[in-house]
Structure 1
Amino acid sequence: MNFKTILSLVLCSFFAWQLSAQMPKVYAVGAMKDMGSTYDLNMDLDTISTKKHLYGMGPYDKMKGEITVVDGKPYYASAFVDGAYVVDKNWNIKSPFFVYSNVGSWEVYTIEGDFNSVQNIQEAVAKMAKANGYDLEQPFAFKIKGEFDALSAHIVTPRLPEVEGYRDGIKSQKFSFEDTKGEFIGFYSEHHQGVFTHMDGFVHVHFLMKDKSFMGHLDEITTKGKTFKLYLPKK
């Protein structure tokens, strides 16, 4: 191996390290796989020291619903009554596991085409991030804004009889929408399966309606021939 080759490898390693060092750090408290049957509360959102430009997500309390923090605004949703949901804002909430990052500014990219699954979203985010020099070995937050033909999202419900909102045999409620505008808030990681992403994927995605009247965990999407704005953390 000659000197130029060695120098090139050193420089590539340095710039890769520099890039990851400049990315907003992603923090994970607790883990999806460790919730067990007690859903112990490991994260108190009010203890996060820097809330400005905070983005984050996790279950609300002991599976009482969903939490999504968007640019320092803490939304939480519950669905205790059949066919109904409630969305509110408060920092005085807790979670069994929570992932978050402070993102002060974003790079905006345009993506076009179809979304027919959450897997499609994962692929689109990874492709655009890689094409623009992002290190996919590092976890990062992202946003996608646009208009969606049809989608469904769920809000988890309590599994313990002593928890407010418990209904026997009901673990979540799914809600469907057509021709709706809003944004997907997500986290991408290839190394946190079972922590804040499911074991079969690299993304955890929540949907927040444009008017903030609904928020939940994205399950399904069917959208064709649309243009979307993808937001990745500014390096």
Structure 2
Amino acid sequence: MRFLTIIFLFSISIVGFSQEVHTSGALKNAMKKGDLSAHLSLDSLKTKKNLYALGPLEGLKGEIIILNSEPLIGFEKDQKPVVESSFNHKASMLVWAQVEEWKEIKIPASVRSKKELENFIQKTVQENGISSSTAFPFLVEGEFSSVDWHVVNWDKNDTEHSHHKHKTSGPHGTKTDLNGIILGFYSDHHKGVFTHHTTNIHMHITDNSHSFAAHADDVTPSDVVLKIPSYGD
């Protein structure tokens, strides 16, 4: 029983239709307990096909985004954001799923912010017969007028955590006219696990050349499409 309890605490599987969203670790552990330790080795996932994942590195020393089983690790080097493609890293929190097929929906030009994007995603999945209480991954691909981003690089000696300090601990800023891909995860009941308390989505972004990988704090879409998991409809 004790073994089962430990597994439950550190790895939650959320079932939605034929899809499973998995989490290891939780954002609230860092915010409330200062727990920045590794909760999952990315190497344990490297044989999985159609893998999509995101989260912060162990120690809050960078950002993880995995697109179709390709890892992109964004971190700071010489005060600049750099990217490494390797599973040889550990995550302090990771949310992941395997998606073989996606359904594409055009995002209207009226969607101009992260909050408007979140509302559009919720409306779209409901229209496609998916309960908004289901946790699921999504992609947003195309041209973005602007993206507010950061790559966390936490000072291990700092024990006072806040969202603002996380955002400004490493490279951060705004990119304009970016062609790229956002990977996000949606849930309205996992606040403190893989979403923060003010939002139902957690998003990371990379450019089309995969030379940039970061957490997306806000976005202004220009010409983009939304992709949600296809459940055989």
Q: Give TM-score, length-normalised by structure 1.
A: 0.82
After TM superposition, give the deviation of residue 171 of structure 1 in Å.
1.7
Matching residue of 1:157: 153
For 1:31-50, list aligned pairs within 5 A.
31-35=26-30, 36-48=33-45, 50=47
1:49 and 1:174, CA in 2 relative to 1: closer, same or farther beyond 3 A? closer
Matching residue of 1:200: 198
**Cα RMSD between the aligned structures?**
2.1
**Structure 1 residue ranges, 4+ long, deviating more than 4 angstroms after superposition:** none
CA deviations over 1:13-71 (Å, ceiling 9, x no partner): xxxxxxx6533100011100012324111111111275211000110121110000100
After TM superposition, give the deviation of residue 116 of structure 1 in Å.
3.3
Aligned pair count reads 208
1:196 and 1:21, CA in 2 relative to 1: closer, same or farther beyond 3 A? closer
Task: Determine the C-alpha separation between the residues in 2 that align with 1:182 and 1:49.
Answer: 23
After TM superposition, give the deviation of residue 98 of structure 1 in Å.
0.6
For 1:129-168, list aligned pairs within 5 A.
129-161=125-157
Matching residue of 2:23: 28
2:227 counterpart (224, 228, 231): 231
Task: Determine the C-alpha separation between the residues in 1 that align with 2:154 and 2:208.
Answer: 27
1:51 counterpart (42, 48, 57): 48
CA deviations over 1:181-218 (Å, ceiling 9, x no partner): 01110000011100000011100011111111111111
Q: Give TM-score, length-normalised by structure 2.
A: 0.83
Q: Which amino acid in the other structure matches residue 109 of structure 1?
A: I
1:114 and 1:50, CA in 2 relative to 1: closer, same or farther beyond 3 A? farther
Is 1:90 matched up with 2:86?
A: yes
List gaps (5 residues or longer) in structure 1. 1-19, 163-168
Is 1:121 matched up with 2:114?
A: no
Matching residue of 1:187: 185
After TM superposition, give the deviation of residue 109 of structure 1 in Å.
1.2
Identity of aligned residues (%): 29
- Corresponding residue SS for 1:230: strand
2:68 counterpart (71, 85, 103): 71
After TM superposition, give the deviation of residue 221 of structure 1 in Å.
2.2
After TM superposition, give the deviation of residue 120 of structure 1 in Å.
1.5
Structure with greater Cα Rg: 1
Q: Which amino acid in the other structure matches residue 29 of structure 1?
A: S
Task: Determine the C-alpha separation between the residues in 1 that align with 2:74 and 2:149.
Answer: 12
